[in-house]
Amino acid sequence: MSAPKTVLITGCSSGMGREAALALHRLGHRVVATARRPETLADLAALGMETLALDVTDEQSMTEAVARTEELHGHVDILINNAAYGLHQPVELAAPEDVRAQFDTNVFGLVRMAQLVLPGMRRAGGGRIVNISSMGGRFSPPGGAFYHATKHAVEAISDSLRLEVAPFGVQVVVVQPGPTITGFGGTAVATMPGDSGPYGAFSAALADMYANKAFTRRSGAVTAEAATRVIVRAATVRRPRARYAIGAMARGTMIAKRLLPDAAFDAVMRASFPLPKAA
């Protein structure tokens, strides 16, 4: 293994963030695992990891977490921007404050974390930022407008950032998971509206799909451990690709989106997702 790196990871309370922290710690890296509720990281701290409170919607929290990491280790070698959740509501019904909260977590927090670690990376002459996007950064199904919009934004921001910081020796990598067996589906269902009026049957069918069908091995979802292997590769390989897709479904859907006319891809979405029905 190359020399140990200082790795700062957001969103380590569960899922891919937690698995990535464990995997990188086992490889001998100095992992700083963070979450909004640091008590959820007690088992990681017991293994010898540094754990910190970090809320990517709070400026002071982000600033203090990066400052503490730099105080301990000099600078951040690798930032893994993992913290995110999925807001799933019909566009017509989504409350503006819910949409803002979705972008605060998935986009603005990711950007601010990159801004905070980059000065140290530039001074050190290198570093790597791994942004966890989604196959949803390449298409948008019914009910997922705002979550997918944030992932489209992550893709665009990462493309610009990759070119801007390359002269300083900093690499930017995007990871695009497909459906993964984590708590994502349950969190998404919790954001769906209860009384949906004309979208009631649609919302109920979408909730059932996310709770019981979309995030299972039978449907083609990958395990968090399998996804983590790709994240670790993206974070540590000497010459990373710009993008790493995770899972056959992610690769196949993104290829279809790129190759099919819009009308044909819309037909794929209609066949794959529930839709509202007019009265």
Q: How far apart are CA 251 and CA 161, in angstroms?
A: 23
Q: How far apart are CA 69 and CA 247, in angstroms?
A: 33
Catalytic site residue from 5, 13, 134, 196? 13
C-beta separation of 69 from 78 below 8 A: no
Taking alpha carbons only, the member of 182, 190, 100, 112 closest to residue 146 is 100
Known catalytic residue at 133: yes
Catalytic site residue from 5, 85, 133, 158? 133
Known catalytic residue at 14: no
Known catalytic residue at 61: no
Known catalytic residue at 210: no
Structure tokens at 234: 């993206």
β partners of residue 245: 176
DSSP category for residue 216: S
Structure tokens at 158: 């990462």
Catalytic site residue from 5, 85, 134, 147? 147
Distance spanning both ends of the chain, measured CA to CA: 62
Taking alpha carbons only, the member of 176, 144, 177 closest to residue 274 is 144
Cβ burial of 199 (10 Å; 0-12, 13-18, 19+) is buried
Q: Distance from CA of residue 205 to its chain's centroid?
A: 25
Q: How far apart are CA 103 and CA 109, in angstroms?
A: 8
Residue type, 160: S
Active-site residue set? 13, 133, 147, 151
